[in-house]
């Protein structure tokens, strides 16, 4: 099984070995934040690594070479079983096992496939890296209470002696009070105050 060009191992323990891989690529990327400055030139100040994208073009044939069936069916059932396996990969973490490296913690995002010659099916597979994180709560003990911000301040402020006389209204205030809008809004109140 280790000599297969590509083995996909699902989180549920199921695996599939492909007959051939004609292309494999890895695409790590990062996004850099840009902030324009006064003259219009952007400056960058932070880099955020994006999930790695892995792609592979893998082939399944109905009649693989002798000794390379990898305990999988042959004939038409082999292609159907490959499609069923890949469909079962949706939503599961997978490990991509190549002869020279194992790539863990990926999910299948695309599985375009086409018929090719020699009774085979070619799959254009795309996987995206999944980063699993865990949250943790830490209790920080309080060693000494912080002083109250209002400590030492008076609870009431003496504003001094206040006049109980109604202030005189100015000419402008009287004109505003005699406007039709003021009368609509406050007319009843003004009449009650006058009586």
Distance, CA of 155 to CA of 56 (rounded, Å)? 73
Distance, CA of 86 to CA of 113 (rounded, Å)? 11
Supply the pTM of this predicted model: 0.61
User: Residue 106 burial (CB < 10 Å; 0-12/13-18/19+)?
Assistant: buried
Domain boundaries defined on the chain: 6-30+47-129
| DSSP for residue 144 | S
Digits of tens for pLDDT over the chain (195 positions)?
Answer: 448 899 999 999 999 999 989 999 999 998 888 777 777 777 777 888 899 999 999 999 888 877 777 888 888 899 999 999 999 999 999 999 999 999 999 999 999 989 876 788 999 999 999 988 888 888 888 777 666 666 666 666 666 676 666 666 677 776 666 666 667 777 655 555 555
Predicted pLDDT at 1: 42
Predicted pLDDT at 69: 79
Inter-residue contact 107 to 94 (CB < 8 Å): yes
Inter-residue contact 95 to 102 (CB < 8 Å): yes
| DSSP for residue 8 | E
Residue in 69, 62, 30 with CA at minimum distance from that of residue 46? 30
- CATH among 1.10.287, 2.40.30, 3.20.20, 2.50.20 for 6-30+47-129: 2.40.30
DSSP string, 61-107: ESSPPTT-STT---THHHHHHHHHHHHTTTTS-EEEE-SS-EEEEEE
Q: Tally DSSP H helices, then E strands, for the chain.
A: 3, 9
Cα angle 86, 88, 91 (rounded to 5 degrees) comes to 105
CA dihedral 60, 120, 76, 73 (to 10 degrees): -20
Per-residue tokens: 149: 């911000």
Inter-residue contact 21 to 58 (CB < 8 Å): yes
Per-residue tokens: 109: 């995002």
């Amino acid at each position: 099984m280790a000599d297969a060009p590509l083995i996909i191992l699902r989180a549920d323990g199921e695996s599939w070995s492909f007959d051939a891989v004609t292309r494999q690529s890895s695409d790590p990327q990062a996004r850099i934040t840009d902030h324009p400055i006064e003259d219009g030139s952007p400056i960058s100040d932070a880099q955020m690594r994006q999930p790695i994208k892995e792609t592979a073009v893998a082939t399944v044939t109905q009649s693989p070479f002798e000794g390379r069936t990898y305990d999988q069916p042959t004939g038409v059932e082999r292609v159907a079983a490959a499609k069923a396996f890949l469909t079962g990969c949706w939503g599961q973490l997978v490990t991509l096992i190549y002869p020279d490296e194992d790539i863990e913690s990926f999910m299948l995002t695309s599985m375009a496939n086409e018929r090719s010659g020699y009774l085979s099916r070619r799959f254009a597979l795309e996987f995206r890296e999944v980063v699993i994180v865990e949250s943790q709560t830490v209790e920080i003990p309080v060693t000494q209470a912080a002083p109250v911000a209002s400590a030492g301040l008076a609870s009431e402020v003496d504003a001094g002696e206040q006049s109980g006389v109604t202030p005189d209204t100015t000419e402008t205030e009287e004109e505003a009070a005699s406007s039709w809008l003021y009368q609509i809004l406050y007319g009843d109140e003004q009449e009650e105050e006058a009586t």
